[in-house]
Every structure is written in structure tokens, then in C-alpha cells.
Structure 1
Amino acid sequence: MAPNINHQDTVFGGSVSAVAILSTWTLLHVRLGSECAGGQIVIYRNTMLYDRPITTGFTAIASMPDADAWARLLKTLNRKKMARISVPSVLICEGHQVGALEGEFVVLPE
């Protein structure tokens, strides 16, 4: 974490956001791969909430979108069209939620 610590001895907000985006992107990548539904995943936009300063190691936990949203994504990709989906992630530090991200992704068909 040392390169990501600011003058307040907390993690830079940009570093936190990058880790949260990476958690959501990775979840999409793995899930699409497991369903043999490839595509190029690109972050379109995100909203990051910072609930508390992060002073030690933290974890980003991404969650799958609801089943209907996932089914729409797959159906759109199967038609060889660009699809969009939102994926949430929460950040946990010392047992407390310290932030949350809502990432909206575009998936371009192969």
C-alpha cells in the first residue's frame, strides 16, 4: 500500500477507485469466460462513494448484477451487439464498509 498512501496516511481515492473498478471488471471477465461469451469489457462510467478513510489493507468485493440484467447482456451479445451492464463493488477495511462503487460497463462483441 505504501505508494498509495497520501499525506493524511490514508489511501488515495484514485487508488481505491481503481481497485474497485478492477474487482468489477474481473468479475465480468471471469463470468463471461465461464459462459463462453467473450467480448471486450470497457468501463463506461462509475460512481464511487467514500464512506470512511482507509488506513490499512482493504478488500474490494464485486457482486453479480441481478439475473435479468445478466440475461439481457448475454442476449444482446449473442446478437453481436454492444451490451451494457452495471456491477457493484463494496470496499471493506477492518470489518467495516469504507466505500462502494457502481461501475457501468460496455461489452463489445467479438
Structure 2
Amino acid sequence: MTILEATFEQKLFELIPQTRNLGIHITHIGDGELQVSGSYALNKNHLDIVFGGSIAAISITTAWSLLQHKIQQAGLTGSLVIKQQEIKFLLPVHSDFECVATLQSVEDWPLFLESYRQRGRAKLIINAHIVCESRITSTFQGVFVLYQPS
């Protein structure tokens, strides 16, 4: 973990304290991708698989973190929230895992910036997936909105 990941992880835990309880750690921040590692032990349920609610929360958190990081890099301020999400659970998760978030399309980012600068509001789709033992176990797509609070 570099200073960038450690600093952003600490900020995430401050902005959304509940994320600390998810047992995640940011392992990589790139221009269009953010990865976290997740703990099986902290998220398992009575069936000895990772709880679906944890998978959903970690997917949202990873996607939100990617977009929040890009917003900070662009020097924008505002409130970032999730508007809509869809998650598909493909396989059970039986061990530690990773979540990888990416922009749906790199071409969407300049449009997002332009919309926000002109209207004070913009939305963007972020995709994420959980990987366990080299297999994709769930897919997530979320619509996030950045807006200027009144």
C-alpha cells in the first residue's frame, strides 16, 4: 500500500465510519480503477460464506471510493451519493477476496466533469466486481450523483 492508498483509506474511514467495520483495505488506486481487499472472517455468515449484504456494501464502497478519488483529483467539491444500484451474486465467497471498481466508460468522465461544472450536478455509472480465488463471484453497477448541496 502506497501513501496514496493509505491516506485515502484513512479519509474513507473518517467520512463513512461504518466502512472500517467491513474489513476492507485499499490496495490500489489508478486513474480509472480502485481495488480493495476484503476479509472473509469479518464478513462471513451462518453458512460460512461472505454475507450478501457485505458484498453489496463493499461493492458500493469501492465504487464510491473510485469516483470520490477522481472528484478530489479534479478539484471538485460537492456531495457524492449513490442513486441506483444493481448487483448479481454469481458464486459464493469462501475466503478473503478483492473488489475492483472501474468506470463504465473512460469517455464518460469528461462528460461528467462538463455536466458538473455547467449544472452543479452530474451522474456517472461505476462497475465493480468481487473476485475470490481468481473467479468473479458478483457484479455490481451503480449510478452515482455528485451535486452541490443547497
Structures share fold, TM-score greater than 0.5: yes
Q: Deviations over 1:42-73 (max 9, x none)?
A: 01111001110001111110012323311111
Q: Secondary structure at the match of 2:131?
A: strand
Larger RCO (CA within 8 A; separation ≥ 6): 1
Equivalent-residue separation in structure 1 for 2:113 and 2:74 (angstroms): 9
Q: Which position in structure 1 is the counterpart of 2:83?
A: 44
Judge conservation of contact 1:85–1:106 (CA < 8 Å) in 2.
yes
Which of 104, 112, 125 matches 1:86? 125
Q: How does 1:60-99 map to 2 (within 5 A)?
A: 60-99=99-138
Q: Which amino acid in the other structure matches residue 6 of structure 1?
A: N
Q: Secondary structure at the match of 2:103?
A: coil
Task: Tell me the SS of whatever aligns to 1:17.
Answer: helix
RMSD over equivalenced CA pairs, Å? 1.4
The equivalent of 1:8 in structure 2 is 47
Instruction: Give the gaps of 5 or more residues in structure 2.
Output: 1-39
Q: How many residues align?
A: 110
- The answer for the alignment partner of 2:65 in structure 1 is 26
Amino acid at match of 2:99: A
Question: For residues 95 and 67 of structure 1, what CA distance do their matches in structure 2 show?
Answer: 25
Identity %: 26
Give TM-score scaled by structure 1 length.
0.92
CA–CA separation in structure 2 for the residues paired with 1:39 and 1:104: 16
Please state how far the C-alpha of 1:14 moved relative to its aligned partner. Answer: 0.5
Task: Note the residue ranges of structure 1 that are not aligned, 5 or more in a row.
Answer: none
Once residues 92 and 113 of structure 2 are traced to their aligned partners in structure 1, the CA distance between those partners, rounded to angstroms, is 37
2:122 matches 1:109:
no
